[in-house]
Amino acid sequence: MSRRKQIYEGKAKILYEGPEPGTLVQYFKDDATAFNAQKKAILDGKGVLNNRISEFVMTHLAEIGIPTHFIKRLNMREQLIKKVEIIPLEVICRNVAAGTMAKRLGIEEGEKLPRSVVEFCLKRDDLGDPLIAEEHIHAFGWASSSELDEMIAMTLRINDYLQGMFAGIGIKLIDFKIEFGRLPISNEDGVVGHQVVLADEISPDSCRLWDRETNKKLDKDRFRRDLGEVTEAYTEVATRLGIIKEQNQHNATILSVVSNDD
Ligand code: TYD
């Protein structure tokens, strides 16, 4: 997609100028990074899988009334999205202790939390995305009180929906990270306000997904922790969601993505 003007390159995705004003094209790379990009690899087919899984999740969330930046998938690796101003927060929602929370609070990984917990990190790669309190968000003006209320409410609804969606395919949603953006609302006078919408992606790169029976990890922890078979696990998630048909031959699977492929 070198014809398009590149707007931004992140660790796993590239953003290009979109065909219409107010749109962007989000391209999913095969690059995987962890531990603040100290660990890197190329995982063949990861971008294709995340593009499909994120499309599936965003589309279903839109159906239950969650506003998102997603417009449509364009091809195997690209989706058309609405251009938003990203709110500089990573919103994490946890149902079961894992990762940094398990370490920080000395809770055994896998222990169910008394209730779902929403956490915030500041989106600052140079600082390693530090955990912050709501007080910091207010004090530094990273989001307004009403934006924060909307983000928390949406995060809890997304969590409820995704927990049910994954439970239906034998997967436990341990935790996930989402990002939000401000979408301009315009009328004939120009921009008159902003709406908070779900942005970025929701995929096994940004969720912890464990098999209900075996607790097998079906997410990026396979990469972080050198467990192997990373894209195979992502393929399993896509297969269980009904996005792709086959699971036995990984490469064939990526080529046999169900429906109208390009
Ligand atoms: P967390 O346990 O805080 O961090 P780590 O992944 O370093 O152990 O992660 C909680 C969830 O949020 C997990 O599913 C991974 C996801 N996440 C991201 O996708 N990106 C991030 O930058 C962070 C901090 C978390």
- Among protein residues, the one whose CA lies closest to atom 3 of ligand 1: 100
Q: Which of 193, 215, 235 minimizes the C-alpha distance to 43?
A: 235
Cα–Cα distance, 226 to 249 (Å, whole number): 21
- Among protein residues, the one whose CA lies closest to atom 2 of ligand 1: 99
What's at 73, amino acid-wise?
R
- Among protein residues, the one whose CA lies closest to atom 22 of ligand 1: 129
- Among protein residues, the one whose CA lies closest to atom 18 of ligand 1: 206
- Is ligand 1 within 6 A of the CB of residue 92? yes
The pTM is what? Answer: 0.93
- Collapse the DSSP code of 121 into the 3-class scheme (helix H, G, I; strand E, B; otherwise coil) and give the result: strand
Q: What is the pLDDT of residues 191-230, one digit of tens each?
A: 999 999 999 999 999 999 999 999 999 999 999 999 999 9
Total H helices, total E strands in the chain = 7, 14
Cα–Cα distance, 82 to 18 (Å, whole number): 9
Q: What is the pLDDT of residues 15-45, one digit of tens each?
A: 999 999 999 999 999 999 999 889 999 999 9
Q: What is the pLDDT of residues 107-152, one digit of tens each?
A: 999 999 999 999 999 999 999 999 999 999 999 999 999 999 999 9
Residue ranges of domains in the chain, CATH in brackets: 6-85+231-259 (3.30.200.20), 86-211 (3.30.470.20)
The answer, yes or no, to whether residue 186 has pLDDT greater than 70, is yes
Cα–Cα distance, 198 to 184 (Å, whole number): 14
Residue 38 DSSP class: T
Nearest ligand 1 atom to the CA of 175 is 14
173 within 8 A of 207, measured Cβ to Cβ? yes
- Is ligand 1 within 6 A of the CB of residue 89? no
Distance 209 CA to ligand 1 centre (A): 12
What's at 107, amino acid-wise?
I
